[in-house]
Structures are given as C-alpha cells and as structure tokens.
Chain A
Amino acid sequence: MANYTQVGSEAIKPIRKTYSYMSGLKVKRPTTYDECTYNLEPKENFHYKPIWNPELNIFDERRTRVKCEDWEQFRDPSKFYYATYCYNRADFQSRIKGQFEAADRYGWFEKMDPAFIDTVREFLPVLRHFVFGESVAFMHVGRTAVGTAIEQCATYQCYDELGTAQLLTRICLGLEEQVPSILQDGKQKWMEDEKFLKLRALTERLMVTWDWAEALIATNLVLDSIVYPLFFEEMTAVAMENGAIGYAAFSQFLMEMYEYEKSYTTALVKMLLADRPENKEVIQSYIKKWLPEVIEAAEEMLPVFDLPRKAIDGKLALENVLEKHVKPLLIDELQIVSSIQTRQVWEVK
C-alpha cells in the first residue's frame, strides 16, 4: 500500500516508518505482529517492590531458572497477535459449531455405541478439570514469563485452555441424554477415582509451580504431549473402530490446541538451548522431574482403553504416544533426553 499521496508534483512522504526501538528486533522487515509485540514489557526504573514478593521486581528474569540474553527476540511461529488470534479462534469456533450441528443432524451422540459412551463418560468429563487446572497455571505463566512475545503465547494458551474446558463440557452435555449425570460423575471421578488421582496430583502441583518456564515446559512438552495424543489420537482411533464418530469428530480440535502449544514451546526451547549451554541442564531437570510422573499418571488411566466393545491394549496406546509424539519431540528434535521408557529409569544425555 502506498504510504504517500501524489499531489501535483510533490509527495507527502512519511518522515519515518516505525518506532525507533524497532531497530532492536533482529528481523529484516518488521511485520504487524512484530510491531505490536516487540518490547512492550517494562524493564527498568521500577518504583516499588511487590508486597507479595519483595525480593523480586515487578518484572524480573529471576522468576525462572532458565536464562536468556534477550527474551524479546522470541517469535511465535504462528505469529499470533490479538487480532489474528481472534480471527483464528473465531474460525475455529465456527468449525466446532458446524460439528455440533452435524452431531445433532446425524444423531452422532444418540447413536453412539453404549459401550463407547461408557468409555467416554469415564474420562472425558474428568479431563475438563485437568485442562481448567492448566489454565490456572497459565495465568501465572502469563504474569511472570519474561518478554512480551512469550507471555503473549502463554496468555492465548490460557484462554485456549479455558475454551477447551468449555468445549469438553459441551461435548459431555451432548451425551447428557444418555448419561444424565455425566458431569457430576466426572467431577467425582476427578476427585476420587484412583485412575485419575495421579493426574490430579500432578495438575495441582503444576498450579503451584512458580518457575514459569518449568510450568510451561511441563505442560506443553510433557503433560499435554502425552494426555492429548492418548485421548485425542489413540482413543480417537478406537472411537472410529467402534463407530463413535461423535467422539472422533471433535478430537481434531483438541489436537489443534495441542499443536499450537507444542509449536511455540519448541521454538522457545530451541532459542534457550541456542542462547546458552547451561539452559540444557535446567530444561533436562524439568523433564526429568515431570516425565516419569506423567507417564505413571498416564499408565494409571489406561484401563479406560479396556472399556470399548472393540478395545485395544492401553499399554500399546501409550507406547504409540511415546513413539509418535514424545520421543520425536524430546529425543530427536530437541535432543533433551536420550531415551524414554515406561515405568523405568531413563537416562539423561
């Protein structure tokens, strides 16, 4: 678009293109995303100490163990700023709405195989609490993460998680005719059922993980990289075997949410590893702490795979998740760990 108007022979030309501090961003030509993301976070001359944490400043790099020379250089691979985030998610919600309309029209919920309904009622309403817990953790990640670009991703993820908790609730509401107490039962299972206690314990611990990078990496590279594919890829394949299209039709939305988290977290971890070698050890320590526990929590939940009419071995499902998602991410792409096994010791490179 022309930035000047030709009037007669003279042109009214801008005296500058953008704000002067944009020169600090190492990109060839700043985009709209860059212009409204770069360098918004305050860094200096703070007036008061937080009464709730007086040892640290209002914004402070010491709220995580990882370190970085210039946090503001981070770029979200999806380049979401508020407007494009809303456009994307409004479209996403329209697609979800379309699926609900199709579910209504074709009776996807009514005609779902009773054994598969019994499977879904066992875990899906439980997961809405899990995702909600993650959103609470991400309110803290958003507040304390360093650099506008990073906290912006965490903010959108937090809102996405609230949306996911609401989506899972609405899918359950779709099954209410068959299982009137699906949500109440789900909450009770979340609180009391042994299959989920480990997951709830981890979720609650995540909510008080005050090192924001640990919370972010534990959620996006560990918890979600196992829980999401386990239920929305492996279980989705089982759903298709059992003709439960009403379940399968919504899985892609959950996986898309996971893909967003994974993509920006992968970019962030790569930036941190490249920035300084000490970060590797810190990130490994996060993974070392969370991965065995999350695998164990996943193992506890595997009995749900026995419930469908055409069931599969839950252990195989988890193995698939590790092979298809966790290992390619942590071992091959990020080279953070050297091997991953179930209920066994793994080695850290």
Chain B
Amino acid sequence: MAKKKRGLKEEYNLLTRDLDWEPSYVPFEEMYPYVSFEGIKIHNWDRWEDPFRVTVENYVRIQAEKERKFHAIRENIDMMQSQLDLTDARWLEAMKLFAGVAFNGEYNAHRLFQYVSRHVPIPAIRFAAFTQSVDELRHVQNEVLLFNNYNKYFQGFHSWKKVSHRHWLMSVIKSFFEDAMTAGPFEGLAAIAFGFEVAFTNILFVTMGSTAMANNDLCYTAVGFTNQSDESRHMTLGMMAIRAMLEEDPDNAPIVQKWLDKWFWRSYRAFTAIAYILDYVAPKKVVSWKEAFEMYIEDQVLNGLFKDLEMFGIRKPLYYEQAIIEKDRISHQAALILHRVSHVAFFHTFAPTAEDQVWLEEKYGDTWRDVWAKKWEQQTDPNYERNYPGLPMLCQTCQYPMVFAEPEDIHKTAYRHSEYEGETYHFCSDGCKTIFDDEPDKYKEAWIPAHEILSGNCGPAEDLLNYWGIDPEDGGDYYESTDYKNFEKWKKMRA
C-alpha cells in the first residue's frame, strides 16, 4: 500500500488521531461539555498512545476468529450436554450469581464506554474506550447465549433480567455500575477501567476461571478465556487513563486519589460474592479467597500497582488495611447470611459439608476453628430458625447486608452511620461511610430495596418473589432442590 517509508507508529497515527480536528463552528466547551467539571486538567490531548495499535481492520479480523471458536464451543457444550460433566450442580449456584451480576454489569460497561469515548477527547483513549464498549457488548451477548445452556436444565437463570434489576441482593452490583455511569467521564473511566478491570478482574477470570475448570464448567471456562483475551486491552486502557491524568498535571493527583480510594473500596466490597464462590460454592476448591486476595490484591495491586503510582504522589487506597484484616472473614460472613436468606434468593444455599469444612479449616486455620466453625454449628442447630425474618439491613453505599465485623473485633458487627438533612444513613464500614460523606446528595438517592418495598414500589408484599423473578423452586437448600435431584438423576441416566 503505502510506498512512503514510515514507521508503524506514524502510520497508526494517521489512521487514528490525525482524523480529529479542532472544531471552529462549535465552541470546545459545547463540543465537550463534560470535560472540565470534574477538575481534571489535560494539557496535551495528543500525547497519549494506544500501545495495542488497534485498527478497525485488525480488530474485526482477530475478533471474528475468536468468535468462530467461541460459538463452536458453545454449540458443542449444548449438544454434548456438558452440564452433566460438572463435579456437582452446586457449582451452578455460583453461576446464577454470576449471571445476575455479570450480564447487566457487562451491558452497563458497554454503555458507559460509549459515553467515555464521546466525552474524553484524548484520541488514544477515545478509540480504546470505544473498542472496549464494543467488547463489552460481545461479553454480555456471549454470556447470555452460553448460559442459556444451563437455563435449559436448571433453575435460577430464567429471569436474570428481573433479578438483576429488582432482586434485593443484586442492588450491590446494580448500584456499583450505576455509580460509575452517573459520574463524569474521567471518573467513569477510572472507576471501571482501573478500579475494576486493572485491580480486580484477574481474580474474576484467572482465579474463578481455574476454579470453574476444576469443576468441569465448560461454560464459564469458555467465557473466561475469551473475555480475558479482551481484558488485557482494557487493563492497558485503565493504566493509560490513570497515568494520563496523573502525568498531565499535579493538580489531578488529589482528584485521582479520591477516585482510587472510592473505587478500590467499592470494587473490593462487590467482590465479596467471589469470596463466597471460591470458598463455599465451588464443590472442588482450588484457591481460597484469602490466597487470591494475597496474590492479586496485596502483591499485585497494593504492593505493585500502587507502588508504581507513588511517584505521582498517590498512596495506597484508603482503608486497604481493613481489607487485609477482612481477608479471612468475608467469605464466611457472606456464606452465613446467604444461608439464612435462601427463601428470598434466586439461588440455593447450603451449609458447608464435612468435606468443605476440612478444606476451610486447612485454609483458614485458627479463625475457622475459633469463629466460623462455631457460627456454622450454631446456625445448623435444628432448633435454630434458619430463615432470616424479613430482609437484612443493607449498607447505604455498597448495599450488602450489614454483616461485616469491626476491624479490631471479629465478634462485633460493624455499624457506622451519618446524619444528612435530618435522615440517618447506615453503613457496613468506614470505607462505605466515607464514600457517602463525600457525596451525600448522590448516595442518599440509592434505590434501597427494603425501603422501596415498604413504600409500595415493588408491588404487593405477597407477590414479591414474582416481582424479583423468582420461582418457588429457585431458592431453598441446595441439597433439597430439584436442581440437585435432577442432576443426580441425569448423571445416572447418562452413565
């Protein structure tokens, strides 16, 4: 093609950022109305480069290749009835959570990155952000199609849309993404590209992926592998975005620090569900939450990524010490509360089996013996009322049930609160309280399920399960469920 000898870099430049121009019929402030209100100062919009040098041509070629493989695998999984290869259908209780969380999460990320690409006029970031938007559409579509394989045979997947927008527990992740979508373009970018993708998705795809593989879950493995191949681009965008903000002006550092504080905590709290999956749901366990946290969050993020950002005056995110203290707590706290709410859940819960307990003791040692084993003993006592009366109280910020303990006292539940405009708001932690106190006008608007139900916004109380998209057979104990019985029956039939 090009006869003139020029470097790839220069040619890439002509294919991307050279296309842009400085508008003269429309003022810059009208063209980019949201570019300045967050206070981020950018002096040289052109300096940044996409290290992947993605063009539309190479993108569609590479992605078409990946899609051909993925859809061949998807059809094969369906045809071979691979759901019967699972170690135990109990693993699917994790996948039901994943469906409720991820489908809508990916879709919202798709729409968020359309907004980011429109409103951040840094050409390299714009193109990478739009490409990410297209990737996220890929992820939600592939997940919806693939998980229909499970939906055909098991409960808990059939109404994921209602579940993800109405179910009380799904407010956690719905509010997480909506928080990012209602922020300015730079915060939205920092939130998802850095706070979520760079800091946390290794656990989602690598740790969860290997656990899924160990349990013969071909669906999640297929999705994990193929999504992960896009994530490396997303993580690079996240790093580029943070560096661009920090390098362009020292005044950006305090703003970025605040976002990193907030989104580290928000992402960390959201990942409690993953802790539960790794330590409890997985019939065959590979890595504990504690180990994954040490490997990815402590070593790679806190002592790696944040170290690299020190030169810009960035410190580790606020309350990271509490996250470290909590690493041998949160999976158990989540499991204990979920066990008590299976009558209002779209998935089954269960108490850890003898086999689970051996593993948990091996991984959690003293805290398991001293604290969690005892709590399970109490909770599984036949005289104990298993079902929680009503709905557990939720944190105003992260919207998890308030089950997390005081950092200094594992036996005492942490309660924090703030008064704002004559109202009292409750939080599970210092991290969540700080986020609220910083933007009370935003967080007071949260759609807190219990309040909405009481205000009559979710229909009549006796019809709540239906409102949430739950069939009677979706919840309850796993070992008493039709899912379990069918799985055992089908396995025998196939054997």
Q: Please give the residue numbers on chain A whose beta carbons come within 8 Å of chain B beta carbons, in ascending order.
A: 1-3, 5, 7-8, 10, 12, 14-21, 32, 35-37, 39-52, 58-59, 81-83, 86-87, 89-94, 96-97, 100, 103-104, 128-129, 132, 136, 139-140, 142-143, 148, 151-152, 155, 158-160, 162-163, 165-166, 169-170, 173-174, 176-177, 180, 183, 187, 190-191, 200-201, 204-205, 207-208
Contact B184 A51 (CB under 8 A): yes
Contact B20 A132 (CB under 8 A): yes
Chain A residues near B182 (CB-CB < 8 A): 47-52, 58
Chain B residues near A37 (CB-CB < 8 A): 141
Chain B residues near A128 (CB-CB < 8 A): 19
Shortest distance between the CB of B243 and any CB in chain A (Å)? 23
Chain B residues near A183 (CB-CB < 8 A): 14, 18
Q: CB < 8 Å: which of A81, A162, A190 contacts B130? A: A162
In the complex where A40-B107, A51-B183 touch, is A208 in contact with B30 (Cβ < 8 A)? Answer: yes
Shortest distance between the CB of B470 and any CB in chain A (Å)? 11
Interface string of B431-474 (1 = CB under 8 A from A): 00000000000110111000010000000000000000100000
Give the docked Cα–Cα distance between A7 and B494 (Å).
6
Answer whether residue B289 sits at the interface, using C-beta atoms and an 8 A cutoff.
no
Interface string of B106-120 (1 = CB under 8 A from A): 011011001101100
Contact B4 A187 (CB under 8 A): no
Give the docked Cα–Cα distance between A339 and B105 (Å).
47
Chain B residues near A5 (CB-CB < 8 A): 81, 494
CB-CB nearest 7 A-B residue pairs? A163-B56, A90-B64, A14-B152, A139-B118, A143-B114, A36-B141, A132-B19
At the interface with chain A, which of B71-79, B323-331, B349-357? B71-79
Q: Which of B79, B137, B174, B175 has the most CB of A within 10 A?
A: B137
Q: CB < 8 Å: which of B2, B111, B141, B446 contacts A82? A: B141
Contact A50 B26 (CB under 8 A): no
Contact B1 A100 (CB under 8 A): yes
Chain A residues near B63 (CB-CB < 8 A): 82, 86, 90
User: Assuming A7-B494, A86-B63, A90-B61, what are 5 further A-B pairs, CB within 8 angstroms?
Assistant: A15-B152, A83-B71, A86-B64, A89-B56, A159-B130
Contact A47 B137 (CB under 8 A): no
* Nearest B residue (CB) for A133: B21
Q: CB < 8 Å: which of B23, B78, B151, B185 contacts A204? A: B23
Contact B184 A32 (CB under 8 A): no
* Nearest B residue (CB) for A21: B161
Listed by A's residue number, 15 A-B pairs whose Cβ atoms lie within 8 Å are: A3-B78, A7-B494, A12-B153, A16-B151, A19-B148, A19-B159, A36-B144, A45-B447, A47-B445, A47-B446, A82-B134, A87-B68, A159-B56, A174-B1, A204-B26
Give the docked Cα–Cα distance between A128 and B70 (Å).
34
Contact B493 A7 (CB under 8 A): yes
Chain A residues near B4 (CB-CB < 8 A): 173, 176-177, 180
Give the docked Cα–Cα distance between A46 and B166 (Å).
10
Q: Which of A15, A17, A190 has the most CB of B within 10 A?
A: A15
Chain B residues near A204 (CB-CB < 8 A): 23-26, 31
Chain A residues near B494 (CB-CB < 8 A): 5, 7, 12
Shortest distance between the CB of A234 and any CB in chain B (Å)? 25
Contact B107 A42 (CB under 8 A): yes
Give the docked Cα–Cα distance between A148 and B137 (Å).
10
* Nearest B residue (CB) for A207: B31
Contact B64 A89 (CB under 8 A): yes
Give the docked Cα–Cα distance between A148 and B57 (Å).
25
Q: Please give the residue numbers on chain B whose beta carbons come within 8 Å of chain A beta carbons, in ascending order.
A: 1-4, 11, 14-16, 18-21, 23-26, 30-31, 33-34, 37, 55-57, 60-61, 63-65, 67-68, 70-71, 75, 78-79, 81, 84, 103-104, 107-108, 110-111, 114-115, 117-118, 126-127, 130, 133-134, 137-138, 140-142, 144-145, 148, 151-153, 157-162, 165-166, 171, 174-175, 178-179, 181-185, 442-443, 445-447, 452, 469, 486, 490, 493-494
Give the docked Cα–Cα distance between A160 and B56 (Å).
8
Contact A169 B25 (CB under 8 A): no
Contact B159 A20 (CB under 8 A): yes
In the complex where A1-B79, A207-B26 touch, is A19 in contact with B158 (Cβ < 8 A)? Answer: yes
Give the docked Cα–Cα distance between A3 and B184 (Å).
47
Give the docked Cα–Cα distance between A39 and B406 (Å).
42
Give the docked Cα–Cα distance between A17 and B153 (Å).
9
Contact A35 B14 (CB under 8 A): no
Shortest distance between the CB of A242 and any CB in chain B (Å)? 22
Chain B residues near A208 (CB-CB < 8 A): 26, 30-31
* Nearest A residue (CB) for B117: A139
Chain B residues near A81 (CB-CB < 8 A): 141
Give the docked Cα–Cα distance between A132 and B182 (Å).
27
Shortest distance between the CB of B329 and any CB in chain A (Å)? 27
Contact A187 B30 (CB under 8 A): no
Give the docked Cα–Cα distance between A89 and B64 (Å).
8
Q: Which of A8, A83, A97, A151 has the most CB of B within 10 A?
A: A83
Give the docked Cα–Cα distance between A162 and B57 (Å).
10
Contact B114 A174 (CB under 8 A): no
Contact B104 A42 (CB under 8 A): yes
Contact A169 B141 (CB under 8 A): no
In the complex where A45-B452, A132-B19 touch, is A1 in contact with B133 (Cβ < 8 A)? Answer: no
Q: CB < 8 Å: which of B133, B145, B162, B469 contacts A142? A: B133
Contact A19 B118 (CB under 8 A): no
Contact A162 B142 (CB under 8 A): no
Give the docked Cα–Cα distance between A276 and B152 (Å).
38
In the complex where A44-B166, A48-B179, A136-B118 touch, is A159 in contact with B159 (Cβ < 8 A)? Answer: no
Contact A43 B64 (CB under 8 A): no
Contact B161 A39 (CB under 8 A): yes
Contact A19 B160 (CB under 8 A): yes
Chain B residues near A180 (CB-CB < 8 A): 4
